[in-house]
Amino acid sequence: MLSVSAGSVIVVELLPLFNIVSTILAIAVICVCAAVAASVTKPFCKEFPQGLQTVGDLARWVMTHKADLATATAPGWTREQITIRVREIIVEQLGCKPDFSEDANFVKDLGLS
């Protein structure tokens, strides 16, 4: 967002001087702003890591790294609570059917790629 805004301002400001130098300068500034924005926002990334092969792998990762995605009704988590919540997250986010096992492979069994 910041990079688009900065680039737009520069292009508008340099429009009366439109030539190859101002165009290159505008592109360079947009690239620098995009790189800065990408590095500043990286800590806020919410993507799952690569290499998760099964639903069980995802469940373990979610409970270890993103506990805020799951809410417990009682102190501590039972295996059944974890299974139910991870299944809800998968069905909600991926739109797949809820009748899969913990050993289901995302690509082979759930048809996701």
Q: pLDDT band at 42, cuts 50/70/90?
A: confident
Rounded to whole angstroms, the Cα distance separating 85 from 79 reads 10
Would the pLDDT of 2 be above 60? no
- Of 91, 87, 68, 90, the C-alpha closest to 79 is 87
For 90-100, write each residue's pLDDT tens digit: 888 777 777 87
Give me the pLDDT at residue 81, please.
80
pTM of the complete model: 0.36
- DSSP designation for 50: T
For the residues 17-33, what does the mean pLDDT come to?
76
Kindly list the domain boundaries of the chain, sorted by start residue: 2-44, 46-113
For 59-112, write each residue's pLDDT tens digit: 788 778 776 666 655 567 777 887 788 888 888 877 777 787 777 777 777 766
Neighbours of 82 (CB within 10 A): 18
